Structure 1
Amino acid sequence: MRRIASSLLEIARSRIELIGIELTEEKERLLGVAFLGLAAMLLGMLALVVLTGLIIVLFWDTWRWQAMTVIVVVYVLLAAWCAARARTILREAPMPFEATLAEFEKDRDALRPD
């Protein structure tokens, strides 16, 4: 009986350690992606502001309203594409703790009486 209890406790301990490792990995991945995403957005916005200003200055005397309209339409289309892409990425993301759940399934199957 002691060996069974000891085995069960060891299994539970190893699964909890696995959950902790997966949580740490997920946290580090999310922080890295968030930082890179914010940096990309900041730099992209700066580039867009400068590009927008340049286009408006170039067309100011002749086609200023048309140039501004084209710029707005392009920005809206790009924003919609980015939102759709982000939604797709989130939907297709792997389920968190897959390895832990798989190990729990193996444990459950191994402990079932035949």
Structure 2
Amino acid sequence: MTDNDRTTPPRPSLRRLAGALLEIVQSRIELIGIELTEEKERLMGVAFLGLAAMLFGVLALVSLTALVIVIFWDTYRLQAMCGIFIVYLLLASWCAMRARNILRDAPMPFEATLAEFEKDRDALRPD
């Protein structure tokens, strides 16, 4: 054995390095897929419940509106209609502001994937 063979550390083969990189990329893509599936399921559930709530809410409001107008038809029909309008307007404004706040405060999509990419980048940086 020569001195040159003893002093050079063994180098990983290019094929092993490429294989390791491909495994890292594959695991990150799988993580993205899992997060996409979770986000889709969450959004579908929220959308369904939101639509059902709106449907039943509209039915209740129509019934309540008719009831109030019938009750006050002979005495205060215009005031009753204006009062109902104001209540509906306030509720619609509150719902719009609440929806805006939920969207603004939502967590960033793919947060776990981005964190893993950050860890990978930090691990591959030279010291």
TM-score normalised by L of structure 2? 0.88
**Which of 64, 68, 73 is equivalent to 1:51?**
64
Rounded Cα–Cα distance in structure 1 between residues aligned with 2:114 and 2:20: 19
Share of identical aligned residues, percent?
79
Q: Which runs of 4+ in 1 moved over 2 A?
A: none
Cα RMSD (Å): 0.5
Q: Superposition pairs for residues 79-98 of structure 1, below 5 Å?
A: 79-98=92-111
**Which of 36, 54, 73 is equivalent to 2:49?**
36
Higher RCO (CA < 8 A, seq sep 6+) = 1
**Which of 75, 91, 99 is equivalent to 1:62?**
75
Unaligned residue ranges in structure 2 (runs of 5+): 1-13
Rounded Cα–Cα distance in structure 1 between residues aligned with 2:99 and 2:82: 26
Bigger-Rg structure (1/2): 2
TM-score normalised by L of structure 1? 0.98
Rounded Cα–Cα distance in structure 1 between residues aligned with 2:15 and 2:117: 21
Give the length in aligned residue pairs.
114
Rounded Cα–Cα distance in structure 2 between residues aligned with 1:47 and 1:79: 15
Cα deviation, residue 2, structure 1: 1.9
Cα deviation, residue 4, structure 1: 1.4
Q: Superposition pairs for residues 9-28 of structure 1, below 5 Å?
A: 9-28=22-41
| Structure in which a larger fraction of residues adopt helix | 1
